A = this chain, B = another copy of it.
Amino acid sequence: MRRIALLLISVAAVAGAIAFLAPRAGRADQEIYVTQIPAGYRDWKLVSVAHEEGNLNDLRAILGNDVAVKAYREGKLPFPDGAVIARIAWAYVPSEENNKVFGRDQSFVPGPPTDWYLQFMVKDSRKYAATGGWGYAQFDKDGKPAPEAKLKTCYPCHEPIKARDYLFTRYTP
């Protein structure tokens, strides 16, 4: 955890330096990314679950902080500032111990963390105005943030679902 904290501080320092050195003009159009893992996300309420095939081949849980879950449950769009969505993804693996009990191959469970284990969307309509009001983040299992080139792919993929405030995941009651 200490190494992660130090890493995050370094990343924040570099990001701060870049922001300071960057020309002021045109900043509103620049994409800004989330560089810290939101505290306590593993205790948040469940929004939904999913299985992605193909390259991803994962089992995933989507959690939301209280602001996000309230907005989901009330069907409120766009989501208010302060809403944060977490996506945790694990490798999709068969459960040998479950299958032994069932007597057939039927059970798939979370394996190790995937390459980009954690993703977050943080709503701040001013700060992240250039990307639909959401800041995007990806971290590996060690808490290392994804490189900027990777983060640049988030918003273009979410853009087609602007009508649902850029959220792929629907709340599952």
Contacts and interface: CB of A to CB of B under 8 A. Distances in A.
Interface of A: 42-43, 45-46, 48-54, 56, 59-61, 63, 90, 92, 95, 97-98, 100-102, 104-110, 157, 160-161, 168, 170, 172-173
Given A42-B173, A98-B168, A173-B42, A108 B63 contact: no
A60 to B, nearest CB: 7
A56 B161 CA distance: 31
A156 B6 CA distance: 50
Nearest to A57: B106
8 contacts: A42-B173, A43-B45, A51-B92, A53-B106, A53-B107, A98-B168, A101-B160, A101-B168
A97 B160 CA distance: 10
Nearest to A172: B110
A156 to B, nearest CB: 10
Given A42-B173, A49-B49, A54 B108 contact: no
A61 B51 CA distance: 12
Given A50-B109, A108-B51, A168-B101, A61 B61 contact: yes
A98 to B, nearest CB: 6
